[in-house]
């Protein structure tokens, strides 16, 4: 499989047009990129492209376009950006891209964390049942919402019955059915006017419960004394019920066919007019009661100060008898909701929903039971994290496996912090993050990685996994845990994953290649002189550059590169006063012997000191000339490998020699005698200090300061500390060499 990346003006990438081949048995690639080269920009571009898939379910195609548009040149956003990833010539779909970034610890917000992990057959059966239920649920909620003037009646029902609006309506179907009666009273009121979602009504009722109970007691007493309104065995016929009954008459037809109403005191009502008059008479008798009126006025006065309760105030002003019911707020809320359900416009939709639910309930329970058995997969993920990353001071548990599996809820993870004595302390995610170190917090990202990968194992398509320095800030044990997990993926799921690991840590880069044992190909990123990113096969995996120079190369550039290393060994074993040390020093600094020492002499020193054969064949030429010739050749080439340090060493030596020559000339021309600035230590640095005393032009002074800043590590290096030198930009050294050469008169 070949994956081609074609990026232009993507964050910090000017241009990258490279193809990475994943050979059979090598499903992973590790790319070493020095700081500022391309690593973060590459990962961010891939991550933004992947966001298209995440955005689509919620916001549609427009969101996908917006996500892509976020990819741009940092310095000039107006430049046209190009970002394409093709697999064997075909565009890679956004959903097949996953980027793991150590800076992103909010894994619970990432949809890819909670993708379904149960078997596909089980998921298909669950989707079939839920599809039937969801269709009936939507029709029921729509009809009920029209009456209640609310779009979330199912949530209101769930909260009324369980206290949690997140509970599925299907979990309370049996409870609702047990309470629903055919004579449930319909209350013609907007639900939020009585039971607002901000809780202001409930707070008012709680704060004034004593006053409301006084009103309820007085109202009930007056009802009991009325011949028209009455309460018996918990059933009430009050002003609201009478008004609803009056609506049923509409015209005089009921009474025109000799029907009549007989009250409990045997009074007869024979017309609509008589019915309405009796209602008004009885209402006046109750509502004009002095004690009741005084109590209501006290309630109304308290409501006047609550502008947010204006709608509630209007409702109870029209329906005084509801005040008594509101003393049992939760009970009345259920009663109103059940009244909506029993309304003719809704009852048919509810019965249809109940019928579908009853017909599929057992099948749904069977699916859930099987899903619980498959939770072993989730348990495996968490146990793998806790086991492999056991040096972390916390453990993780999943609390809502069933809903994650079947309803694709976000995974709710529970954490326990473990102190030095082994005591476990339950923590929320936010509180835990405050306790952990940066490296430990980044371990959260590993959970995201594990969940996403385990979910994608179920896919029938191949995913591109981009790991952006995922082990950064980890200790070595946890770094090895990551490498081992990637190794298992490469070994067992080559057809599912193509993995690109990005790192700026050269030691980690070499460790990955070593531990993945042939399952990974190594690449190093560098920029050409146009600033375009290029990817080439990596170097220095199992052997140091000094081994290569000493035993396998006959090139002059490798011969030059080994000089500072051997000079350090000579200094360690013999000290700085020996002739061998002085001869090698003359190759690196402007010394009395710099213009006379040849490659033959240097070759004899190196071979004699190391006792190892050398492929390089000496020519008898001056080392000075060889060094400048190789440096000029490097400067002339347009294609540079940013990583190869032999080129950087040769350039640095040439820069030093040219700089020393320039400084010596400037100091002598200023009238100083050589004895005045001669030194046995840090020659270039001390000469630069003397030169700065001459108040030279700012541009020349700046060039010399760069010489002192950029070259020391290359001419005093050793085999244990060469890795940081790889990060130094080759182009910076080439540019500096050109400037120093110009100052020194070539």
State whether 170 and 97 are in the same domain: no
Tell me which of 109 and 495 has the higher pLDDT. 495
Q: What is the per-residue pLDDT for 551? A: 63
In a domain, 413, yes or no: no
Phi-psi region of 8 (alpha: psi -120 to 50; beta: other; left: phi over 0): beta
| Res. 53: pLDDT tops 60 | no
Q: Could you read off the pLDDT of 396-452 as tens digits, one per residue?
A: 665 555 554 444 444 456 677 777 787 877 776 677 667 666 656 666 667 667 777
Confidence at residue 61, expressed as pLDDT on a 0 to 100 scale? 35
Residue at token pair 């490498």:
483
Whether 695 and 551 share a structural domain:
yes
Enter the tokens of residue 111.
């949809």
Q: Are residues 485 and 619 in the same domain?
A: no
- Output the pLDDT for position 742: 93
What is the overall mean pLDDT for the chain?
81
Rounded to whole angstroms, what are the CA distances from 658 to 35, 465, 477, 622, 631?
29, 48, 47, 15, 11
Sign of CA dihedral 167, 169, 171, 174: positive
3-state secondary structure of 697: coil
Portion of the chain with pLDDT greater than 70, in percent: 81
SS (H, E, C) 546-587: HHHHHHCCCCHHHHHHHHHHHHHHHHHHHCCCCHHHHHHHHH
Distance, in Å, from the CA atom of 593 to the CA atom of 586, rounded to the nearest integer, reads 6
More confident residue, 682 or 660: 660
Examine the domain organization and report whether 240 and 309 are in the same domain: yes
Tell whether the model's pLDDT for residue 89 goes beyond 80: yes
Band of pLDDT at residue 476, cut at 50, 70 and 90? low
At residue 265, the pLDDT reads 77
In terms of domains, do 191 and 53 share one? Answer: no
Question: How far is 708 from 712, CA to CA, in rounded Å?
Answer: 7
682 CB-near residues (< 8 Å, 6+ apart): none
Residues 33/117, Cβ–Cβ less than 8 Å: no
Q: In this structure, is residue 386 part of a structural domain?
A: no
pLDDT mean over 525-544: 82
Let me know whether 586 and 566 are in one domain: yes
Chain position carrying tokens 């100083």: 672
Long-range contacts at 448-452 (CB < 8 A, ≥ 24 apart) = 448/100, 448/104, 448/107, 448/110, 448/112, 448/113, 449/100, 450/381, 450/384, 450/385, 450/485, 451/107, 451/112, 451/113, 451/114, 451/115, 451/381, 451/411, 452/98, 452/100, 452/110, 452/112, 452/113, 452/115
* pLDDT of 473: 58
Let me know whether 319 and 250 are in one domain.
yes
DSSP 27: -
- As for how many domains the chain has, the answer is 3
55 or 397: whose pLDDT is higher? 397
Whether the pLDDT of residue 330 is over 70: the answer is yes
The answer to whether residues 155 and 251 belong to one domain is: yes
Would you say residue 677 lies in a domain? yes
Assess whether 158 and 180 both reside in one domain. Answer: yes
Residue whose tokens read 């270039």: 684
Among 510, 537, 564, identify where a domain stops.
537
More confident residue, 544 or 174: 174
Listed residues 537, 572, 600: the one ending a domain = 537
Q: Based on the domain organization, do 496 and 639 belong to the same domain?
A: no
Residues in the chain: 746
Per-residue pLDDT, averaged over 344-366, amounts to: 90
The pLDDT of 285-308, averaged and rounded, is 77
Q: What is the pLDDT of residues 97-128, one digit of tens each?
A: 988 876 654 444 333 333 334 556 676 787 78
**Residue 640 domain flag:** yes
Is the pLDDT at 284 greater than 80, yes or no? Answer: no
Average pLDDT in the 566-582 region?
89
Q: What is the phi/psi pair of residue 206, to 5°?
A: -65, -40
Dist. CA 512–CA 538, nearest whole Å: 12
**Assigned token pair, 65:** 């376009």
In a domain, 385, yes or no: no
Does the residue 593 lie in any domain?
A: yes
| DSSP string for residues in 631-650 | HHHHHH-S---SS-HHHHHH
User: Are 481 and 388 a contacting pair, CB within 8 Å?
Assistant: yes
Q: What is the mean pLDDT of residues 511-538?
A: 87
Residue 620 structure tokens:
């008898």
Provide the 10 A C-beta neighbour count for residue 646.
23
Reported as type and span, the H/E element at residue 187 is none
The per-type count for the chain, helices as H runs and strands as E runs, is: 33, 17
Q: 6: part of which helix (H) or strand (E)?
A: strand 2-10
SS3 471: coil
Q: What is the pLDDT of residue 307?
A: 76
Tokens read off for 182: 């055919």
Average pLDDT over residues 148-169: 86
Question: In the block, which residue shows the tokens 């409301």?
Answer: 212
- Please say whether the beta carbons of 3 and 85 come within 8 A: yes
Q: How high is the pLDDT of residue 462?
A: 92
Same domain for 352 and 450: no
Angle at 399 between CA 396 and CA 405, to 5 degrees: 110
| CA distance readout (Å), 193 to 156, 308, 617, 689, 703 | 13, 10, 97, 83, 77
Which residue range(s) make up the domain with 638? 545-743
Last residue of a domain, one of 491, 511, 537: 537
How many angstroms separate the CA atoms of 9 and 37, rounded? Answer: 14
Q: Is the pLDDT of residue 304 over 70?
A: yes
Is residue 585 assigned to a domain? yes
Q: Residues near 635 by Cβ (< 8 Å), separated by ≥ 6?
A: 651, 734, 737, 738
Name the residue with tokens 């193509």: 498
Name, of 279-283, 368-372, 692-696, the range with top average pLDDT: 692-696
Q: Give pLDDT, residue 56.
A: 37
Question: Which of the residue ranges 375-384, 486-495, 630-639 would you say has the lowest mean pLDDT?
Answer: 375-384
Higher-confidence residue of 63 and 701: namely 701
Q: Can you tell me the distance from the alpha carbon of 112 to that of 116, in angstroms, rounded to the nearest whole number?
A: 9
Residue 738 within any structural domain of the chain: yes
Q: Give the least confident one: 9-23, 110-124, 241-255, 667-681.
A: 110-124
Separation of alpha carbons 162 and 176, rounded Å: 11
681, 576: one domain: yes
Q: What does the CA dihedral 54, 59, 60, 65 come to, rounded to 10 degrees? A: -70
Query: What is the average per-residue pLDDT within 491-507?
Result: 90
State the pLDDT at residue 70.
80
Rounded-to-integer distance, Cα 370 and Cα 382, Å: 20
CA–CA distance, 363 with 129 (Å, rounded to integer) = 8
The Cβ-side half-sphere exposure at 594, using a 13 Å CA radius, reads 18
SS3 assignment, position 458? coil
Specify the DSSP class assigned to residue 327: T
- For residues 274-287, give the mean pLDDT: 76
pLDDT one-digit tens code per residue, 32-48: 988 788 998 999 999 99
| DSSP class of 11 | B
* Most confident listed range (125-129, 237-241, 260-264, 682-686): 682-686
| Radius of gyration for the chain, computed over Cα atoms and rounded to the nearest angstrom | 41
Q: What is the mean pLDDT of residues 196-212?
A: 84
């Amino acid at each position: 499989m070949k994956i081609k990346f074609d990026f232009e003006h993507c964050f910090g990438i000017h241009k990258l047009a490279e193809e990475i081949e994943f050979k059979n048995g090598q499903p992973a690639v590790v790319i070493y990129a020095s700081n500022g080269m391309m690593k973060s920009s590459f990962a961010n571009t891939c991550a933004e492209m992947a966001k298209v898939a995440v955005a689509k379910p919620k916001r549609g195609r427009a969101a996908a376009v917006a996500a892509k548009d976020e990819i741009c040149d940092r310095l000039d956003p107006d430049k046209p950006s190009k970002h394409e990833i093709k697999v064997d010539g075909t565009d890679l779909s956004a959903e097949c891209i996953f980027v793991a970034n150590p800076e992103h610890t909010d894994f619970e917000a990432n949809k890819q964390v909670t993708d379904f992990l149960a078997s596909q057959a089980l998921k298909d059966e669950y989707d079939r049942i839920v599809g039937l239920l969801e269709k009936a649920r939507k029709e029921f909620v729509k009809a009920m919402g029209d009456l209640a003037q609310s779009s979330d009646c199912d949530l209101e029902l769930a909260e009324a019955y369980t206290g949690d609006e997140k509970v599925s309506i299907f979990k309370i179907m049996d409870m609702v059915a047990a309470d629903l009666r055919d004579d449930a009273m319909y209350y013609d009121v907007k639900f939020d006017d009585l039971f607002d979602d901000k809780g202001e009504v409930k707070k008012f009722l709680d704060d004034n419960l004593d006053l409301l109970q006084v009103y309820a007691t007085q109202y009930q007493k007056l009802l009991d004394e009325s011949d028209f309104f009455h309460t018996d065995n918990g059933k009430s016929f009050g002003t609201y019920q009478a008004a609803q009954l009056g609506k049923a008459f509409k015209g005089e037809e009921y009474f025109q066919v000799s029907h009549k109403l007989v009250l409990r005191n045997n009074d007869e009502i024979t017309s609509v007019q008589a019915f309405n008059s009796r209602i008004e008479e009885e209402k006046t008798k109750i509502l004009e009661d002095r004690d009741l009126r005084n109590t209501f006025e006290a309630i109304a006065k308290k409501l006047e100060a609550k502008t947010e309760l204006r709608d509630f105030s209007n409702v109870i002003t029209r329906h005084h008898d509801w005040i008594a019911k509101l003393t049992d707020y939760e009970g009345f809320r259920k009663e109103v909701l059940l009244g909506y359900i029993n309304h003719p416009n809704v009852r048919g939709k509810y019965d249809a929903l109940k019928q579908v639910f009853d017909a599929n309930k057992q099948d749904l329970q069977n699916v859930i039971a099987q899903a619980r058995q498959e939770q072993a997969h989730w348990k495996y993920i968490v146990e793998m994290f806790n086991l492999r990353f056991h040096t972390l001071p916390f453990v993780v548990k999943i609390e809502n496996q069933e809903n994650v599996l079947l309803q694709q809820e976000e995974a709710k993870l529970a954490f326990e912090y473990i102190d030095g004595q082994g005591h476990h302390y339950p923590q929320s995610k936010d509180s835990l993050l405050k306790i952990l170190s940066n490296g430990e917090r980044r371990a959260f990202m590993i959970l995201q990685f594990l969940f996403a990968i385990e979910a994608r194992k179920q896919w029938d398509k191949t995913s591109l996994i981009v790991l952006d320095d995922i082990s950064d800030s980890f200790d070595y044990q946890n770094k090895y845990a990551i490498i081992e997990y990637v190794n298992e993926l490469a070994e067992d799921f080559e057809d599912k994953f193509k993995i690109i690991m990005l790192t700026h840590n050269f030691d980690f880069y070499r460790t990955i290649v070593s531990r993945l044992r042939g399952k990974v190909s190594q690449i190093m990123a560098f920029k050409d002189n146009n600033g375009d990113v290029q990817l080439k096969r990596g170097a220095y995996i199992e052997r140091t550059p000094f081994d290569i120079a000493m035993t396998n190369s006959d090139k002059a550039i490798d011969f030059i590169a080994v000089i500072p290393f051997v000079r350090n060994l000579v200094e360690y074993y013999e000290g700085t006063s020996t002739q061998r040390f002085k001869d090698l020093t003359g190759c690196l600094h402007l010394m009395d012997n710099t213009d006379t020492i040849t490659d033959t002499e240097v070759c004899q020193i190196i071979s004699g000191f190391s006792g190892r054969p050398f492929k390089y064949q000496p020519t008898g030429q001056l080392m000075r000339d060889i060094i400048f010739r190789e440096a000029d050749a490097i400067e002339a080439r347009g294609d540079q490998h940013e990583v190869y340090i032999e080129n950087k060493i040769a350039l640095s030596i040439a820069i030093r020699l040219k700089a020393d020559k320039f400084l010596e000339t400037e100091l002598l021309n200023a009238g100083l005698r050589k004895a005045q600035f001669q030194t046995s230590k840090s020659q270039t640095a001390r000469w630069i200090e003397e030169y700065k005393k001459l108040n030279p032009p700012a541009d020349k002074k700046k060039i010399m300061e760069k010489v002192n800043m950029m070259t020391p590590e290359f001419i005093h290096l050793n085999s244990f500390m060469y890795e940081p030198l790889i990060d130094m930009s080759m182009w910076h050294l080439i540019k500096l060499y050109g400037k120093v050469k110009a100052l020194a008169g070539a």
